[in-house]
Amino acid sequence: SSSGQAGHSFRRKPVIIIVVGMAGSGKTTFLHRLVCHAQASRICGYVLNLDPAVMTLPYGANIDIRDTVKYKEVMKQFNLGPNGGILTSLNLFATKFDEVIQVIENRADQLDYVLVDTPGQIEIFTWSASGAIITEAFASTFPTVVAYVVDTPRSSSPVTFMSNMLYACSILYKTRLPLVLAFNKTDVAQHQFALEWMEDFEAFQAAMRSDDSYMSTFAQSLSLVLDEFYKNLRSVGVSAVSGAGMDAFFKAIEASAEEYMETY
Ligand code: GTP
């Protein structure tokens, strides 16, 4: 689908990159690195911060939920704990999301990417109505991809790796958007083991067996499910600290955006 003949109602650009990952995976540091890389490569990007509770950001956000919703006041007003406060703040923001889309549409010609930072507790975004509303609003207007940040050194045991991949898998099927796995912290541990396990599930099963955790038939079935899942995504190794893998990441995003244009 090289021309507009197919009748896509959304524009080719910008590409929306929704960045999610387990708490501590390095999401914020990774986003900061992406912003620096984009600036150095003259790629024009916007950053949208959706975390109402973050105190300081290492990068300047062009659109920031904190400008609209005061998280501490939401907590007080609705008598909520920290997570309820973040969720309610996100709900309030989601009701005005058409304005955010409008701001981006007005700038669309100048923008290559919009990087979206999500709340530290991943499920607040991935399993909430407002997360779905925001994702849907993006995906119906622009090519949209999800970047799932993985803490590579902490995923080196087969069981942890499998739980992390099952979580990524649930995000793929929930959003139905192209997914890029960003194996972060490769300055500490290379992601080669992950690539091997993803390419060869027998190698993964062998690793499971030697992990002195049991290898049940259930775990075997799961690794077969994951084998199918791996065919539907792209993975790159990155380091938010050293800056390795940034070009590869943007290439994977481009390919995913192409896939989006062809599929949706
Ligand atoms: P939340 O704020 O809980 O959402 O965490 P986050 O996922 O945004 O992670 P954050 O960017 O705060 O990073 C978590 C920790 O990992 C920090 O101590 C970072 O310095 C560290 N970190 C992030 N990226 C890398 C990396 O590429 N290499 C190394 N060695 N450390 C990293």
Residue nearest to atom 5 of ligand 1 (CA): 24
Ligand 1 center from residue 44 Cα (angstroms): 24
Q: What is the ipTM of this complex?
A: 0.96
| pLDDT of the residue at 116 | 97
| pLDDT of the residue at 58 | 93
Residue nearest to atom 4 of ligand 1 (CA): 120
pLDDT tens, position by position, 189-247: 999 999 999 999 889 988 888 776 666 777 778 888 898 899 989 999 999 999 999 99
**Does 8 score more than 60 pLDDT?**
no
Ligand 1 center from residue 110 Cα (angstroms): 30
pLDDT tens, position by position, 64-98: 999 999 999 999 999 999 999 999 999 999 999 99
- pTM value is 0.93
**Does 55 score more than 90 pLDDT?**
yes
What percentage of the chain reaches a pLDDT higher than 90? Answer: 77
Beta bridge partners, 49, equal: 64, 117
Q: Which residues of 223-261 are buried (b: 16+ CB within 10 A; e: fewer)?
A: beebbebbeebbbbbbbbeeebbbebbbebbeebbebbb
Ligand 1 center from residue 10 Cα (angstroms): 34
| pLDDT of the residue at 76 | 97
| pLDDT of the residue at 197 | 95
Q: Is the CB of 58 under 6 A from ligand 1?
A: no
